[in-house]
Amino acid sequence: MPRTTIHLIRHADAVPELGAELDAAADYDALGLSRTGIAQAAALARRVAAGRARPAAIYASPTRRAHETAATLAGALELDVVLDPRLREFELGPLVGRGDPPAAERSRLIRARLAELAAIALRDGSWRTVPEAEPAAGVRARMSAAVEAAVERHRGAHVALVSHAGAINAYLAGIVGTSRDFFFPAGNTSLSSVRFVAGTVSLVRLNDTAHLESLVLSTADGR
């Protein structure tokens, strides 16, 4: 009986460093990985490439941070990345708001808004109170469609889907049956795995970031 396993991966860190001068025309989705994010993506790639459950395909959200994370993994596995817009994050409106702040100020404003949105999600279990937030039901529907398409194309295989914290939460909330659209703080490059067998679906791993432990130890040792 074929078992198909979908590995939902949150992108690596892309929060701009304080003081970074950002192009006023660039939004968060156009920003690449931070220095921390580049190291995280490399650690993820090393772990997956060394494991026995190697993905047969890699799909990613079209945001730059997700695509770069997926590309690092794909390079280690000698695979191509297929972009799927259904894997994108919740639409939550502009991060910087109206106006045209100085380039050096944009990084602070983006960092502050991302922290605010994370606090809302953890406190409320959703972004319903954010005026421009995309409805969770729609996010869950498109994520489910992306997962189901991957299962259909790659029966009996492992597949990596690189997405975002909110979108992954929304999809998995439907699997575990919680009323919270956001029920766990997904770590950057975390692995959450769902297994499909004979029409049944099971969550077999949640928010696994074991591959980042070496980065934490290296920082603590001053390396």
Q: Where are the domains of the chain?
A: 3-220
pLDDT tens digits for range 56-114: 999 999 999 999 999 999 999 999 999 999 999 999 988 776 566 666 677 788 888 89
* pLDDT score recorded for residue 219: 45
* Residues 204 and 187: beta-carbon distance below 8 Å: no
Q: Which of 171, 169, 163 is nearest to 183 (CA)?
A: 169
Give kind and range of the element (H or E) at residue 38: helix 35-50
Looking only at the bridges linking them, the beta strands covering 158-163 and 57-60 are parallel
* Residues 107 and 19: beta-carbon distance below 8 Å: yes
pLDDT tens digits for range 109-118: 888 889 999 9
Question: What is the share, in percent, of the chain residues with pLDDT greater than 70?
Answer: 88
Please give the mean pLDDT across all residues of the chain: 90
Q: Looking at residue 23, what DSSP letter applies?
A: -
Nearest 5°: CA angle at 118, between 142 and 128? 55
Q: Which two tokens stand for residue 106?
A: 């944009």
The strand order across the sheet containing 81-83 reads 81-83, 57-60, 158-163, 3-10, 191-197, 200-208
Nearest 5°: CA angle at 20, between 18 and 25? 125
Q: What is the CA radius of gyration of the chain?
A: 17
> Could you tell me the CA-to-CA distances from 110 to 96, 117, 182 in Å, in that order?
6, 11, 21
Give CA–CA dist 215/144, Å, rounded.
33
* pTM score, whole prediction: 0.92
Beta strand spans in the chain (E): 3-10, 57-60, 81-83, 158-163, 191-197, 200-208
Looking only at the bridges linking them, the beta strands covering 200-208 and 191-197 are antiparallel
Can you give the length of the chain in residues?
223
Q: Which two tokens stand for residue 169?
A: 């939460």
**Given 3.40.50.920, 3.40.50.2300, 3.40.50.1240, 3.40.50.10860, which CATH number is that of 3-220?**
3.40.50.1240
pLDDT tens digits for range 172-220: 999 999 999 999 999 999 999 999 998 899 999 999 999 999 887 554 4
